[in-house]
Amino acid sequence: MADHHAIELTVNGQAQQRHVQPRTHLVDFLRNDLGLKGSHLGCEHGVCGACTVEVDGRIVRGCLTLAVQAGGCKVRTIEGLSQDGDVKDLQEAFIRHNALQCGFCTPGMVMAAKELMEHKPDATRAEVREWISGNYCRCTGYHAIVDAICETLALRAGRAATGTKEAA
């Protein structure tokens, strides 16, 4: 495999050692080499956000990031987030508000919303709309998605204010 590079990285808490071509994008590596199909490929040039994943705690476009660039990093995908329960409340809010139809945009949308909720727990509705403006949805018209995120922010703030433990 002369044209392949060895990379070591952590994906959803598991150490991985693989050989990849230098031109392989991170989202292709995750989907094809690791079978993590939750990150989607839409535009493949950085516009739609369907491929959003986390690298060392910050979201990136998986279609613009090379797999070799993630060498030595901690990568998380929607599968890892879901397994760890980090966004269980948000996922439940998406269902309550019918914030997905075909679901193609949903993993990227949830990854982006998670980062917003961590960095701006007091975000206004306008700030939520601005934050997810880099994630395209062809189905919902966005209102239900914004509703779900805003409700989750409010519920988390309420829990924080009352000291109530998040329901398991």
Asked whether 39 and 62 are in contact (CB, 8 A), the reply is yes
* Per-residue CA distances from 115 to 37, 64, 69 (Å): 21, 19, 21
CB nearer ligand FES, residue 98 or residue 122: 98
Torsion of Cα atoms, 151 then 48 then 42 then 114, to 10°? -30
Binds ligand FES (CB under 6 A): choice among 50, 116, 144, 150: 50
Residue 55 lies near ligand FES (rule: CB under 6 A): no
101 vs 156 by CB, closer to ligand FES: 101
Using rule CB under 6 A, residue 44 touches ligand FES: yes
Burial class (CB in 10 A: 0-12, 13-18, 19+), 44: middle
Q: Which of 107, 89, 98, 84 is nearest to 142 (CA)?
A: 98
Q: Distances from the Cα of 58 to the Cαs of 4, 32, 70, 104, in angstroms?
A: 26, 22, 12, 21
User: Considering beta carbons, is residue 102 or 157 the nearer one to ligand FES?
Assistant: 102
Binding string, residues 106-145; x marks residues near ligand FES by CB under 6 A: -------------------------------xxxx-----
48 contacts ligand FES (rule: CB under 6 A): yes
Mark residues 57-86: x for contact with ligand FES by CB under 6 A, - for none: ----x-x-----------------------
Residues at the site binding ligand FES, with contacts judged by CB under 6 A: 41-44, 46-51, 61, 63, 100-105, 137-140
